[in-house]
Amino acid sequence: MGRSAEARAAAAPYLARMNNFFARFPAPRACLAALLTFAAGGAMAADACQVIHDASVATLDARSGLRQYMGSVKDRPERLVSIIAGDSVYVAMGPNHWSRMSRAEQRAQAMEAEKMKRMTGCHPSGSDVLNGERVSVFEYQVEFGGMRTITAKAWIGPDGLLRKQATEGRGWIRYEYKDVHAPS
């Protein structure tokens, strides 16, 4: 899909929110591209890209909801960054402070932002075990919104949902689907 001015304008509020979020944490900006890959899958060059795309959409629409945790290759602890529960999305803005938006709004913004993403070189790279569950691993190259191309991996569970995504040498996003509820 092309990078039209309309797509950039529609994605601007979402990207601004995400840039503000990442400015508060030491995780590199490249993690923004990894975080956004949980939405839909830009230009797909191979069947493996379609598998990653399908897992991304299924994850975004997971009925059980999900918790996203972000980790960094630097010596910083993994942290909870967002919760999708019911019709709401909660984004951590600091200790015990959450910003809320509707799931529909978040999905629409993420899908618009995805129009600026390009995945290439997608291929299966074996399997792994995460939290006692066998998952399939895929590697790919991703370029998002003019950022340089980075190498990424996606771990996909047997139910077709993402379990983890990582960018080479930068950080990762981990997904949990059990016992999801709104923050208190």
| Amino acid (1-letter code) at residue 163 | R
Give residue 4's pLDDT band: very low, low, confident or very high (50, 70, 90): low
Residue 164 falls inside a structural domain: yes
Report the pLDDT value the prediction gives residue 43, as an integer from 0 to 100.
Answer: 35
How does DSSP classify residue 63?
T
**Which range among 79-93, 104-118, 170-184 shows the weakest confidence by mean pLDDT?**
104-118
Residue 184 falls inside a structural domain: no
CA–CA distances in Å: residue 142 to residues 6, 21, 50, 55, 159: 21, 21, 14, 16, 24
Give residue 9's pLDDT band: very low, low, confident or very high (50, 70, 90): low
Packing angle, helices 5-23 and 103-114, rounded to 10: 110
Residue 181 falls inside a structural domain: no
How does DSSP classify residue 43?
B
Report the pLDDT value the prediction gives residue 114, as an integer from 0 to 100.
Answer: 75
Range of the domain at 73: 5-176
Percent of the chain with pLDDT over 70: 74
User: Which CATH number goes with the domain that contains 31?
Assistant: 2.50.20
In this predicted model, which residue has the larger pLDDT, 178 or 4? 178
Residue 150 falls inside a structural domain: yes
Q: For the chain, what is the domain count?
A: 1
Checking if the pLDDT of 7 tops 70, the result is no
CB 39 within 8 A of CB 86: no
Give residue 80's pLDDT band: very low, low, confident or very high (50, 70, 90): very high
Find the mean pLDDT for residues 24-53.
Answer: 50
Report the pLDDT value the prediction gives residue 60, as an integer from 0 to 100.
Answer: 84
CB 68 within 8 A of CB 81: yes
CB 176 within 8 A of CB 66: yes
Residue 49 falls inside a structural domain: yes
- Identify the three-state secondary structure at position 168: coil
Q: Which residues contact 62 (CB under 8 A, 6 or more apart)?
A: 84, 161, 177
Residue 182 falls inside a structural domain: no
Q: Count Cα atoms within 13 angstroms, Cβ side, for 119.
A: 32
